[in-house]
Amino acid sequence: MMSSQLSFQRGVRDGLPIGLGYLSVSIALGITAASKGMPLWGAALFSMISMTGTGSLVGINLLAIGGGLIEMILAVAVINARYMLMSLSLTQKLPEDMPMWKRLLIAFGNTDEVFAVASTQTRPLSFPYMMGLILLPVIGWTGGTIIGEAAGNFFTGSLIAAMNIAIYAMYIAIIVPGARKSAAILLVVLLAAGLSCLLTFLPMVHLGSGWIIIIAGVAASAVGALLFPRKEDA
Amino acid sequence: MDTGYMLVGILVMSAVTYLIRALPIALVRRRLQSRFLLSLLYYLPYGVLSAMIFPAVFTCTGNVLAAAIGTGTAILLSFFFPNLLLVAIVAVLAVLVAM
C-alpha cells in the first residue's frame, strides 16, 4: 500500500508550477504594497502568514486608507469564505485518522490552486504530499512579494499589467482538462461563468466579488450535482 | 503607515483567513454520506474557479481586448498542454504582444 501513496517529492513537483505562478502574481502584490507605503517586512510577513491573493490586495488597500479592524475582518471573511467549502471538500480526501497537527498544517496552505491540484488527484492524499505541494507556493508567494517591494522599479507598467493574467491562466489550465473529459464539469463551468457575469453586471445586484464567487460557484455545482450525481465509489 | 496598526491588521486578517481554512479540516473528520453533497463538493473547484475567472479576467490587465486574447490563448493551450506554468507564461506573453 505504501507504494500507492503520493510522496513528498511528487508534491513538490506538482507545487512547482503553482509556486512560479504565485511568484508573478505576488510581485505585482509587492509593487502595490510598496506604492501604498507598506514597509518591505510588513508585506513579506503578511504574505508569509496568509496566502490569499485577493484577500491580501484588499487588506493592503484597507491598511493604506486606515480602515477599521471590523471592516478588515468582514472583507477578508467574505472574500475568503470560499476556502471553508474547499477545506470541507479537502477533508473528505484526507485519512480520517490523520492527527490534528497535520491537519492544521495542511489547512494553512489550502489555496485555490493547491486545493484544485489536490482535489483532482485520484489517489488518497498523504501528509508528505500535501507538505510538498504547499512548500513552493509559500516560498513563491513570499519571495515574489519581497521582489516586488524591493525591485518594483525594474518592471515596466505593461509587464506588471500583463502579469495580472497569470493567476487566471492557471485557473484556466486547471478547469479545461476536467471540462474536456466530462460534460457535467463543462456544464458547471459554463453555468458558473454565466452566473458570475450576470451577478457582476446586472445593475440591480450590489454584491461584493467574494459573495458573487460563492453564490455562482455553489449554485452551478449544485445544478451539476442534481443533474449528474456522482457514483457512490467515485 | 503606523507600524502597530499595520501589525495588528496583518495579524487579525491572517487569523481570519487561517480560521476559515482550518475549521472544516480540523473539525470534520467523518466522511459525508450524502451523494448530493459529495457530488457538489466534487464539482465545487470547477464552479468556484470558473466564477473567479469570469468576468474578472477581462478587466485584470486594464486592456479588455488584450485580456480576451490572453484568455483565449490560455483556453486553447490548456486544451492540448494543460501545464499550469506553461499556460500562465504564454498567456502573459500573449497579453504583452496584444497590448
Evaluate whether residue B1 is within a structural domain: no
Interface of A with B in 50-69 (CB under 8 A): 50, 52, 55, 59, 62-64, 66-67, 69
d(CA B34, nearest CA chain A) in Å: 9
Backbone angles phi, psi at A135, to 5 degrees: -50, -60
Q: Is B6 left (phi over 0), alpha (psi -120 to 50) or beta?
A: alpha
B55 SS3 class: coil
Closest CA to B38 of A93, A198, A102, A230: A230
pLDDT greater than 60 at residue A234? no
The stretch B1-24 carries a mean pLDDT of 94
Which of B3, B5, B13, B92 would best serve as a mutation to test chain A binding (most A beta carbons within 10 A)?
A: B13
Give the model's pLDDT for residue A160: 77
Which residue's entry shows cell 525591485?
A: A151
pLDDT greater than 50 at residue B37? yes
Evaluate whether residue B55 is within a structural domain: yes
Q: Which residue of A has its CA nearest to B76?
A: A176
B22 SS3 class: helix
CB of A103 within 8 Å of a chain B CB? The answer is yes
Interchain proximity A165–B91, CB inside 8 Å = yes
The stretch A117-121 carries a mean pLDDT of 89
Band (pLDDT 50/70/90 cuts) for residue A120 is: confident
Give B14's DSSP letter: H
pLDDT greater than 60 at residue A109? yes
pLDDT greater than 50 at residue A1? no
pLDDT greater than 90 at residue A115? yes
Evaluate whether residue B60 is within a structural domain: yes
CB of A5 within 8 Å of a chain B CB? The answer is no
Interchain proximity B6–A42, CB inside 8 Å = yes
Q: Which of A54-63, A120-129, A191-200, A201-210 has the highest mean pLDDT?
A: A191-200
Interchain proximity B46–A175, CB inside 8 Å = yes
Evaluate whether residue B26 is within a structural domain: no
Q: Which residue range is the domain that position B86 belongs to?
A: 44-98
Give how many domains chain B has, as a whole number: 1
**A36-40, A94-98, B17-21, B82-86, range with the lowest pLDDT:** B82-86
Interchain proximity A108–B90, CB inside 8 Å = no
pLDDT tens column, A47-77: 999 998 778 888 888 898 888 898 889 878 8
Give the model's pLDDT for residue A232: 56
**A127-136, A137-146, B7-16, B85-94, range with the lowest pLDDT:** B85-94
Sign of CA dihedral B8, B9, B14, B17: positive
Evaluate whether residue B9 is within a structural domain: no
Evaluate whether residue B11 is within a structural domain: no
pLDDT tens column, A3-28: 468 999 999 999 998 998 888 888 88
Looking at chain A, the number of H-run helices and the number of E-run strands are 12, 0
Residue A73: list chain B partners with CB under 8 A. Answer: 12-13, 16
Interface of B with A in 21-40 (CB under 8 A): 21-26, 28-32, 35-40
Give the model's pLDDT for residue B60: 83
Evaluate whether residue B51 is within a structural domain: yes
User: What span, in angstroms and rounded, lies between the C-alpha atoms of A99 and A77?
Assistant: 27
Number of Cβ within 10 Å of residue B13's Cβ equals 29
A50 SS3 class: coil
d(CA A7, nearest CA chain B) in Å: 20
Evaluate whether residue B79 is within a structural domain: yes
